[in-house]
Amino acid sequence: MREEIKNKILSGDFGEVLLNEELKKYTTMHIGGPADILIMPETEDQLTGLVKLLKGEDTPLTFIGRGSNLLIRDKGIRGVVVVLRENYSKIKVEGNLVIAQAGAALRDAAIASFENSLTGMEAVSGIPGSVGGGVIMNAGAYGTEMKDIIKNVKTMDKDGNIKVYTNEEMDFSYRHSLAGEKDLIVLEASFELKEGDREKIYEAFEGFDYKRSSRQPLDRYSAGSTFKRPEGYFASKLIDEAGLRGFTINQAQVSEKHTGFLINIENSTCENMLELIKEVQKIIMDKYSVKLEREVKLIGEE
């Protein structure tokens, strides 16, 4: 990064700026080395200013939401890392629309829908990600994906151009969106919901929460399902049948509770976690000729 750019970031108005910040603090997996510069903008103007400052520079610009689908390498991330979570998380409700900034927790957007007797977000209310990360991944659970409830998405490209895409234009499919494909920055999303019964919405929340807490190792460091669902199979079932429940490499382990989750016991390195991922993939390929594709995104310097 050019010294001039670094100085402009340090002296400018882009939100909180941290140097050499350990990224493990920003991921649910608790893995990841330092970011050269980590920035937490609070306004669209700060974000636009930053993106425009870096336009045409060779400084990499990486976005992180709630860090619940990320595996960050041990050497960390070079350049600028922008974190959009509590610092960028306003939510408003207009009629049957819940409009949330990218950093808002999906859970909080779902709570806002409940408070306004709007139904549609119950099934995704337990996904521990942000609205931005949800859009990028087309996150989904128990039969509802972002594509079923999003009306439109406000984005910015890396040149600082802002554009609103409709649901159709977002081209959502299983764990895919146009925003992810084109490396767009998600600024805000609106969820189009239906009028519902508050009590029923609450009951649904409780039901889905119970399903999650009884089946998933929510008290452990993980990034959720490590692998995508292979066509015609369930990754967790294959891993279990292959005898890999509890299979451990140093501090990286196949969860005893849910074999689709690979967990960091306490202080696993990214390298060990990658070793475990590769070993599981190899065993499943050898045993069942099924390719397990990683759902968790791997980023950072090799």
Ligand X SMILES: Cc1cc2nc3c(=O)[nH]c(=O)nc-3n(C[C@H](O)[C@H](O)[C@H](O)COP(=O)(O)OP(=O)(O)OC[C@H]3O[C@@H](n4cnc5c(N)ncnc54)[C@H](O)[C@@H]3O)c2cc1C
- Residues forming the active site: 175, 225, 295
The answer to whether residue 63 forms part of the interface with ligand X (CB under 6 A) is: yes
Local structure of residue 149 (DSSP, 8 states): H
When the beta carbons of 132 and 196 are compared against ligand X, the nearer one is 132
**Residues 48, 113, 125, 130: which binds ligand X (CB under 6 A)?**
130
The answer to whether residue 141 forms part of the interface with ligand X (CB under 6 A) is: yes
Residue 23: CB minimum distance to ligand X, A: 10
| Cβ pair 302, 73 in contact under 8 A | yes
**Residue 190 backbone phi and psi in degrees, to 5:** -115, 135
Q: How far apart are the first and last CA of the chain?
A: 18
The answer to whether residue 28 forms part of the interface with ligand X (CB under 6 A) is: yes
Please give the distance of CA 265 from its chain centroid, rounded to a whole number: 21
The answer to whether residue 185 forms part of the interface with ligand X (CB under 6 A) is: yes
When the beta carbons of 2 and 55 are compared against ligand X, the nearer one is 55
Please give the distance of CA 266 from its chain centroid, rounded to a whole number: 21
The answer to whether residue 120 forms part of the interface with ligand X (CB under 6 A) is: no
DSSP SS3 for 161: coil
When the beta carbons of 215 and 287 are compared against ligand X, the nearer one is 215
The answer to whether residue 300 forms part of the interface with ligand X (CB under 6 A) is: no
Convert 150-185 to b/e letters by CB count within 10 Å (16 or more is b): bbbbbbbeeebeeeebebeebbbeebebbbbeeebb
The answer to whether residue 98 forms part of the interface with ligand X (CB under 6 A) is: no
Local structure of residue 122 (DSSP, 8 states): G
**Residues 54, 186, 235, 274: which binds ligand X (CB under 6 A)?**
186
**Residues 116, 222, 253, 268: which binds ligand X (CB under 6 A)?**
222
DSSP string, 41-71: --SHHHHHHHHHHHTTSS--EEEESS-TTEE
The answer to whether residue 66 forms part of the interface with ligand X (CB under 6 A) is: yes
Residue 186: CB minimum distance to ligand X, A: 4
The answer to whether residue 136 forms part of the interface with ligand X (CB under 6 A) is: yes
When the beta carbons of 18 and 218 are compared against ligand X, the nearer one is 218
When the beta carbons of 258 and 280 are compared against ligand X, the nearer one is 258
Give me the residue label for tokens 């900034």: 101
Give the contact letters, 231-270, x = binds to ligand X (CB under 6 A), - = no: ----------------------------------------
DSSP string, 126-142: T--SBHHHHHHHT-EET
How many CB atoms sit inside 10 A of residue 289's CB?
Answer: 7
The answer to whether residue 70 forms part of the interface with ligand X (CB under 6 A) is: yes
Q: Identify the CA nearest to 53 among candidates 15, 102, 103.
A: 15
| Cβ pair 139, 150 in contact under 8 A | no
The two most distant CA atoms of the chain are separated, in Å, by 57
Number of residues that bind ligand X (CB under 6 A): 31
The answer to whether residue 68 forms part of the interface with ligand X (CB under 6 A) is: yes
Tokens of 296: 């968790």
**Residues 113, 167, 216, 268: which binds ligand X (CB under 6 A)?**
216
Q: Which amino acid is at 156?
A: M
When the beta carbons of 65 and 196 are compared against ligand X, the nearer one is 65
When the beta carbons of 53 and 136 are compared against ligand X, the nearer one is 136
Alpha helices, DSSP H, located in 140-243: 146-149, 178-181, 198-215, 235-241
Residues that bind ligand X in the complex, under the rule CB under 6 A: 28, 63-70, 84, 102, 127-130, 132-134, 136-137, 139-141, 185-186, 216, 218, 222-224, 297
